Amino acid sequence: MSSMLKPVVLSMQGLKRCLVTSSKLILPVSSGDKKSDSTSKSCPNPENLEDGFHKFFPNVISQIIKHSRCQNIPDVAKWINTVFETNCSGGKMRRGMTILESLLILKDGKIDQDELQDAFLVAWAAEMMQSFILIMDDYMDQSETRRGKPCWYKTGNLGPKAMNDAFLMESSIYELFYHSLSSKPFYKEILHLFKDSGIKNKTAFEAAWNIALPLGIYFQEQDDYLDLYGDPNVTGKVGSDIRFGKCTWFAVQVMKTGKKHQIKLLKDFYGSKQEESIQKIKKLYEEMNLQNVFHNHALERSEEFNSKLNKLPNSVPTIIFHNIINSIVNRNK
């Protein structure tokens, strides 16, 4: 997954830039809601931002169903609702919240109600993109749980048919954008940002890349740690890296620093689904004191990120990276 994290992190930066530079958008609102006067209304306080973000989700689902061309088929509409409710809820929501928090920072808290709804929609699109990736990733890895629930492909014995729902989720992002933003001059830019990061300022892009790439790699290293030592009640999933023979930070450390007999043990038992073999690998990690080695590695990474922050050019908003780094470095799920 580390290769998939890089474009996600960078795309988030691009999306923030696009939100800030865009003019007001007009998004559909739930029935019964009245369009607010965008010149007199300001955004909610930051502490209410997450609550508003969650409350906006039903509106997103209703728009997806409305434009699915199947809204008059009750079973299909019900299934779409189930797919999105199940797969887009229960997570950390860091991608969506990063967009919203960044908008508040860059606009100095001065955003009107229209801009806020735009931000909610783009933020949920980012969460949908993540859920699309996770559905496929869980099936490919044959994982058991995700966010404290059975993985989607294991729901109702869906199996490979879960891929249909994954691609439904991805395509719905662009349906939302088409029906909400297609008349806007920046519509194509929004699409490009979700497909691939556009480069307008090469210096800023390279500076962001130089910090986003190692940050994305470290995010994956943390996942490797949490797979072994995380609390399933907190992480929402049961560790499976050893039995599936994943290329993790811990396995790489054995290959890089282990003695001959330790490397042989890894090769003999890593990737086995037998509990006895899994315990031998865990004992090997304990013997090599890799948990403490990782803690030292994490401290070095944190210092590295702080050093890179101090070298960012003025064209890159440092405070946003501060928030992203803090949310990642201190995470436990």
HSE-up (13 A, CA, CB side) for residue 35: 9
118 is written with which tokens?
């735009």
For residue 146, give the H/E element and its range: strand 145-146
Q: Identify the pLDDT of residue 106.
A: 82
183-193 tens-digit pLDDT? 777 788 888 88
Q: Identify the pLDDT of residue 42.
A: 44
Q: Higher pLDDT residue, 198 or 41?
A: 198
pLDDT above 70 covers a percentage of the chain that reads 85
Q: What's the rounded Cα separation, in Å, for the pair 328 and 158?
A: 33
Residue 44 has pLDDT above 70, yes or no: no
Q: Check: pTM over 0.75? Answer yes or no.
A: no
Of 18-22, 155-159, 231-235, the one with minimum mean pLDDT is 18-22
Region 226-247: mean pLDDT is 88
Q: How far is CA 157 from CA 133, 151, 152, 183, 304, in A?
A: 19, 10, 9, 41, 45
Q: Higher pLDDT residue, 263 or 9?
A: 263
Q: Identify the pLDDT of residue 61.
A: 92
Phi and psi angles of residue 255, each rounded to the nearest 5 degrees, phi first: -65, -30
Q: What's the rounded Cα separation, in Å, for the pair 263 and 120?
A: 49
Q: Are 135 and 153 in contact (CB under 8 A)?
A: yes
Residue 137 has pLDDT above 80, yes or no: yes
Long-range contacts of 179-188 (CB under 8 A, 24+ apart): 179/28, 179/63, 179/67, 180/25, 180/26, 180/27, 180/28, 180/63, 180/121, 181/25, 184/22, 184/23, 184/25, 185/23, 186/18, 186/21, 186/22
Nearest one of 226, 218, 211, 235 to 298, comparing CA atoms: 218
Q: Identify the pLDDT of residue 156.
A: 87
Residue 158 has pLDDT above 90, yes or no: yes
Region 186-214: mean pLDDT is 83
Q: Higher pLDDT residue, 184 or 328?
A: 328
Q: Higher pLDDT residue, 135 or 24?
A: 135
**What is the identity of the amino acid at 181?**
L
Which residues lie below 8 Å from residue 328, measured CB to CB, with a gap of 6+?
94, 215, 218, 219, 222
Residue 256 has pLDDT above 90, yes or no: yes
- Residue whose pair of structure tokens reads 């999933």 in the numeric block: 237
48-93 tens-digit pLDDT? 888 889 999 999 999 888 887 776 788 888 999 999 999 998 888 8
Q: Identify the pLDDT of residue 41.
A: 40
Burial, 281: exposed, middle or buried (Cβ in 10 Å; 0-12, 13-18, 19+)? Answer: buried
Residue 35 has pLDDT above 50, yes or no: no
Q: Are 17 and 102 in contact (CB under 8 A)?
A: no
Region 260-277: mean pLDDT is 96
Region 216-233: mean pLDDT is 92
Please spell the DSSP secondary structure of 104-138, one letter per residue.
HHHTTT---HHHHHHHHHHHHHHHHHHHHHHHHHH
**DSSP three-state, residue 145:** strand
Q: Are 211 and 305 in contact (CB under 8 A)?
A: yes
Q: What's the rounded Cα separation, in Å, for the pair 58 and 31?
A: 12
104 is written with which tokens?
């508040």
288-312 tens-digit pLDDT? 999 999 999 999 999 999 899 888 8
pLDDT above 90 covers a percentage of the chain that reads 43
**DSSP three-state, residue 144:** coil
Residue 251 has pLDDT above 70, yes or no: yes
Please spell the DSSP secondary structure of 50-91, one letter per residue.
HHHHHHHHHHHHHHHHHTSS-TT-HHHHHHHHHHHHHHSSSS
- Residue whose pair of structure tokens reads 């210096």 in the numeric block: 203
Phi and psi angles of residue 149, each rounded to the nearest 5 degrees, phi first: -130, 160
Query: Could you tell me the pLDDT band of residue 163, with boundaries at 50, 70 and 90?
Result: very high
Q: Identify the pLDDT of residue 166.
A: 95
Please spell the DSSP secondary structure of 233-292, one letter per residue.
HHHSS---TTTTT---HHHHHHHHH--HHHHHHHHHHTT---HHHHHHHHHHHHHTTHHH
Q: Identify the pLDDT of residue 198.
A: 66
HSE-up (13 A, CA, CB side) for residue 10: 24
Query: Could you tell me the pLDDT band of residue 47, with boundaries at 50, 70 and 90?
Result: low
Q: Identify the pLDDT of residue 45.
A: 56
Residue 179 has pLDDT above 80, yes or no: yes
Of 34-38, 171-175, 191-195, the one with minimum mean pLDDT is 34-38
